[in-house]
Structure 1
Amino acid sequence: MPVPFSPRRRVVLSLLSLPAWQHAANAAAPAAKRLSILDAGAVADGATVNTRAIQAAIDRLAAQGGGTVVVPAGVFVSGALFLKPNVHLHLDRGAVLRCSTDMRHFPVQRTRIEGHFEERFNPGLVNAAGCDGLRITGEGTLDGAGRPIWDRFWQLRKAAKDKGSFRNLDLPRARLAVIEASRGVTVDGITFKDSQFWNLHLYRCRDVVVRNTSFQVPDDYVQAPSTDGIDIDSCQDVLVDGCHFSVTDDCIAAKGSKGPRALEDKDSPPVERIRVRNCVFRRGHAMFTLGSEATVVRDVVVEHCRVQDVGSVAHLKLRPDTPQRYEDIHFRDLVLDSGKGEIVSIRPWSQYFDLKGEAPPHSTVRNVTLEGIRGRFGAFGTIAPNPGQTDIAAVVLRDIDVQLTDTRLHVKDAAAPVLENVVVNGKPYAADARG
């Protein structure tokens, strides 16, 4: 049952409702015109590369004022596809749109990735820019065919003289869907499977609904690199509802810019008004992460979710080279079910950073709450700043009842969090239990 909130809390909840989401949820129905990719010459044999035929279907509908490209049941291999305004994509039950693993079918271009624009990197399997009202729907699958690409990644990384000499972007690979500069977007019912890189990358979008969608990699693959479920990059008003995540990187990540001048980056507006609800996080590096590239993230609510084998529930990465502002971040009504992982991780992240000769910037983390959390998990976690750089304030832990293997909450060089009705392993959580 959901954790009850006081009348005062109910008022807050009502204030957090966002009418803007209705723009996406109730977007005008796509044009009635439908075109099967079979009618454009696509072949469902799991081998033929159908890029030209599927793109021809997209272009034909665009020339006719719009409509829906339909992928019927069968396995269709393709390279990079580019949707156009008023053209939607629907995958029937049993339909598989599979990435080619030959990167010649994903010609390099200027693209947004990892907090900046890379001048030469691969596009996604499905790409959309300036496509307001876009709908990607159905019960079919976007399949990245990622296993040989992941294997190659680890081979190259192992062969590198040191980890720093092999960048994450040095291996060509495709995301499954890249949607940018679009408003009123709906992604509904699709399965994202075995992505070579990130699954769903949203950049500078507004009024987005992702619902009843699954993001997955095989259980037998220990670490499929960079298989983030959803990357919310410089977006506003995003709702993720009723989704399932089983990946080996972040399930959902809020992203933006990076570096000492990140606040001046006009290509990276704040990530704001994000709502995640009714989701299952079965596997992942973290349930919800702020970073690795993020500058301003505020007004985030994650609620009514079930969390299983993830490394962290709430992971706030603090880059030493970026002036970050994390504000009004709330996690509530979560059921935990794992013997490992940590509930909260607010700590330095320095896997990659570059001060570019400038002084270390100042960052703030404030008004972070975790409440209505119950179940079992590994550890309480850590709250620690980049020394001398980060102010962490107003962290509240409320109405928590959990069984933990490691009961210590490590707080270092930060104000102690406010504890209200916190029970760990059947006992009220004492101040001296913090390490």
Structure 2
Amino acid sequence: MDKRAEFDEEAKYRLLWMLFRADSTKGLRLSKALEEIMSTTSLTSASNRRLLKDQAEAFLRQYNSEHGGVVCVNDWGKHDEEIEPIPRPPKSEKKKNEAGVKNKKNEKGPHRPGKVRCYKLTAEPEILHPRSLRLHLLLVGKFNEFFLPKNERKALVRLIKSTSSNQKIDSLIKRLRYSARYPGIFPNTDTQRLRLHEQVALRALEEEMGFPARYQGGREIIYFPVRLVRREQISYLVCTTDERKGIYEEMALHRFSIDIGITDSVDDFPLKERNHSIDYTNPTIKPRIPGNWGELEKLELEVEGPVAIHLSEMRFHPKEEKKHLTEHEFLQHEPVPRVLLRIHKLWYDYEFKTWLLGLGAALKAVRAVPAFGHEQVDPLADLTRDISAQYSSLVPPEH
């Protein structure tokens, strides 16, 4: 690992991890830690070593005031909560103190001026590794066109360049790819105007207000957004209106028509106050596509072929602590892999249905148990009906 010429952000990060890994009964001397972190040239003179140690101590005090967990370890392995350095005595008292130094040499007690101090961090560091920060900013820069207008993208690029001057990270970013699972389809509309509309919607969402607009060529009314949803390259707004109080619907952003010019300021665009209660926390969203959607207590899928191996490595709930809700059982490995998936507590909706249809011939069996109160949910009948209708309506191409 490269040693640092200055006590920079990476040096701070490494110092915290060294203190966290230090023996809890011994701690770690800052001078010892700095020898591991700093380059030889930066430690050549006593003044440089003193400066680096002062910088490290100041950083630890600042970190402790924000996050806590930095302690000193005393002579008998106990933690002293106070990490503020003991002020050095004035010169007038120096000679007086020197007389008692020999008597205090072997005395156990609190940290004294000039005594070696050992530090320990009692919890994992709560700061980003500089490499992670650079990577995050560069990834934001790579994909910021999804949400930011052109002038703000330029400002972000300047910020990224000032923070991420690292050739290795720059090279790494060029090797990363963002790829959708489905074909890349995009709203066939003016990109600049679409982003302008998105900025209006974001401001209304932030300020919990409404914006006047027409949807799919209808009359102008006030829409109150409560969510912005991104699916692949398409943005959707979950909105309610004065006329449909309490009803929250998902609406495609590119279908809105907002009366704002390309050169107009989003901040000056007039928003409308709401005159009724709106649920911004947990709105019940009306399904955008009708169907027998609802919760399944359990769904069993038998999947065959290469996709079976892929699915045996996946879970169907985002949080890791819920991974037990997805079970995998190999029914056979050779000659063609076949896996039984048992998925518990799953919400069956249009997106999940289209995913099942996309499995095609690899999907061999479907068994479902609806949750209480959702007895209408029947994925097998739903899929059978759709597949039957699909193949009966297929027409061979004309030559």
TM-score bracket for the superposition, by shorter chain length: under 0.3
Length-normalised TM-score, structure 1: 0.24
Higher helix share: 2
Length-normalised TM-score, structure 2: 0.25
Higher strand share: 1
